Structure formats: structure tokens, C-alpha cells
Amino acid sequence: MALPNLENKKQIIVIVFAVAAGIIASALVGSYVSSKVNEETGKLAIQYEKAQATNKVQYEQDLALLNQKIAEVQASASKAAEDAARAAVAQKGDTGAAAAAVVKKKPSLALRTPSGKRAITVELKSLGAVGGLLNPGDFVDVIAHLDMPTGKKLNPKEKVTAMIFQNLQVLAINTNIDEPGAYDAQQGEKDLKVTFAVDPQEAGLLAFAEQNGNLELALRTPMEKGRTMIPAANWSTLGEYVLENSGADIKLSDNGEEGGKKPELKVETENVQETKPYIQIFRGGKEL
């Protein structure tokens, strides 16, 4: 009975060694596989980094080349613009800057004219056009100094000043349609061409007044849109206004125009007696 037991023990030992050897072999194989995987992974990582570095260098080279081409195109365009400007200046015979050759287009005046209105231009002295302090879009009153016929032989015409239009819109001053504040240029000119927006009847009357007298403008505030009945300005209305507001009585002399003499002005004021002080001082029976 002892022999079989010994034989079984040998078999058990062999099996144990075989299992141990298998475990060791598996561990060695796993270690080998892991090392190989790590090695291949490292190789792939190095190859990837090299590829990325190569792509980055290539990208930077391509970007530098593109920037160089852009700079060359810009330089070529700038040179072409300068050559064109020089050619334009040489063609016009102008010795000024090349930028002066650029012509700024103006908007259409017809599109700026309100519906139902007409655009009409009159020539005014710069001083009579509010000293040149006008902007497109302002509203003004028009004062006319007219030479009116009198029917008299010695003095066939009489100068009458009247505000003939109120609240007219200014569309343009010279060629300025939409640029406000060109005061220095306007004040430097002797005459200004002012364009108004008027209805058809006002257009004819304004042209007639310009042909038969001188025109002057009075600037209105943007808030005031109403109209006021104002009598024509003459010696009579001036005298009434001065008498009412200043107390001076302006009268014409009796020398009529038919006598060949111009009217003479006389200014009459009320005689004011000197008033004595309320407290009177006497010395020796005499008033001081």
C-alpha cells in the first residue's frame, strides 16, 4: 500500500511544478508582451511627434510664404496707385498733392428737395446771407429791399424793405448740400449762391424780387415754424416802432419830394423839467 502513495505524491509534485512553470511562463510572456507594447507605443509616439514637428515647420513655412506674397501684392498695388495718381496730376497739369485728384461725388439735389417744392437758387452777398453762417437744412426768412415805382416824375422809384417770405428751407450753399459748418470757406467768398425749397408761386416771386432789388436773409431757430404778419419797413413804420419802444418821435419835414428835396428827419423828444429835491435848504432866508 505504501508504493501507490509514493507514486501519487510524485504525480502531485510534478503537477505543482508544471502549474508553477506555467504561471512563471505566463508572467514572463505577459512581461514580454507589455514591454513590446510599450516599446512599440514609444516608437509610435516618437514618430507622431516627428510628424507633428514636420507638419508645424511646413505650416510655418507655408504661412511665411503666403505673408510674403501678400506683402508683395500690397506693395505692387500701392505702387500702381501712386503711379496712377502721378499720371492724373501730370495730365491735369496740377502741381498739388495727388489726393486732390480724387473727386468727391455729391448726392442728388432733386432727391433732397421736399415733395411739392421747387429748388431755386439766388445769389446773395455773403454779409446778407447771415454773414455766411448758413448750413444746408436751415430755415430762414427772406427780406427784400425793392425798388418800387411811384409814378412821380422827379422820383420814379421808392426803396421799400419788406419781409416777403418766411420759413424757407435752405437746400444748399454753393455746391455744399450736406456738409454743415463750412463757415470759413463761405465767409471768405464775396457772394454766395443759396438754394431754397419753395412752392411754384414762391419760386416766381422770389426770382422777380431778386431782379428788382436786393435780398437778405434772417436765420430762424429750428423750434420756430410759425409765420408773423409784419408791415413793410419805411419811415412811417420805423417812426411808429421807435416811438412805441424808445419814446423818440421821428417825423418827416413838410418839404415834399415833389418840391425836388428829399424828406428831412426831425427827432422830437419831450422836454423834461428839472425836478428839485423834496428837501429844501435855506440859509439867511435864501434857498440854497
- Asked if pLDDT for residue 134 goes beyond 80, the answer is yes
Q: Are residues 118 and 220 in the same domain?
A: yes
Residues 220 and 246 both lie in one domain? no
178 within domain boundaries: yes
pLDDT tier, 63 (very low <50, low <70, confident <90, very high otherwise): confident
pLDDT tens by residue, 13-52: 878 878 888 888 878 877 777 887 788 887 888 887 877 7
- 25, 58, 79: which is the final residue of a domain? 79
Pair (202, 113) in one structural domain: yes
Domain that holds residue 248: 234-272
User: What domain count does the chain have?
Assistant: 3
Do 114 and 225 lie in a common domain? yes
* Higher per-residue pLDDT: 44 or 166: 166
Report if residue 49 sits inside a domain.
Answer: yes
At 1 the pLDDT is 47
- Residue of 12 and 124 predicted with greater confidence: 124
Q: Confidence class of residue 101 from pLDDT cuts 50, 70 and 90?
A: very low
User: Residue 85 pLDDT more than 60?
Assistant: yes
262 and 247 co-located in one domain: yes
SS3 labels along 32-72: HHHHHHHHHHHHHHHHHHHHHHHHHHHHHHHHHHHHHHHHH
pLDDT at residue 250 is higher than 80: no
- The pLDDT value recorded for residue 152 is 75
Same domain, 184 and 114: yes
Do 43 and 137 share a domain, yes or no?
Answer: no
Report the alpha-carbon distance of residue 265 to residue 260 in Å, rounded.
Answer: 16
Of 8-12, 44-48, 158-162, 258-262, the range with the highest mean pLDDT is 158-162
One domain for residues 70 and 136: no
Q: What is the mean pLDDT of the chain?
A: 78
Asked, for residue 195, whether it belongs to a domain, the answer is yes
User: Which amino acid would we find at residue 223?
Assistant: M
Same domain, yes or no, for 150 and 217? yes
**Residue 220: pLDDT band by 50, 70, 90 thresholds?**
very high
pLDDT band at 260 (very low <50, low <70, confident <90, very high): very low
Distance in angstroms (rounded) separating the CA atoms of residues 240 and 249: 8
Measured between alpha carbons, how far is 170 from 141 in angstroms, rounded to an integer?
A: 10
Residue 34 is assigned to a structural domain of this protein? yes
6 or 109, greater pLDDT = 109
State whether 48 and 148 are in the same domain: no
Residue 86 covered by a domain: no
Query: Is the pLDDT confidence value at 224 over 80?
Result: yes
Output the CA torsion 196→102→133→163 (10° steps). Answer: -10
Residue 156 lies in a domain: yes
Question: Same structural domain for residues 216 and 251?
Answer: no
Per the domain annotation, does 203 fall within a domain? yes
Is there a single domain that holds both residue 74 and residue 183? no
C-alpha cell at 282: 435855506
pLDDT band at residue 122 under the 50/70/90 scheme? very high
pLDDT at 90 over 50: yes
| pLDDT at res. 188 | 85
Question: Does the pLDDT of residue 273 top 70, yes or no?
Answer: no
- Contact assessment for residue 218 and residue 167, using Cβ atoms and an 8 Å cutoff: no
The answer to whether position 84 is within a domain reads no
Question: Which of 196, 213, 229 is at the close of a domain?
Answer: 229
3-state secondary structure 114-142: CCCCEEEEEEEECCCCHHHCCCCCCEEEE
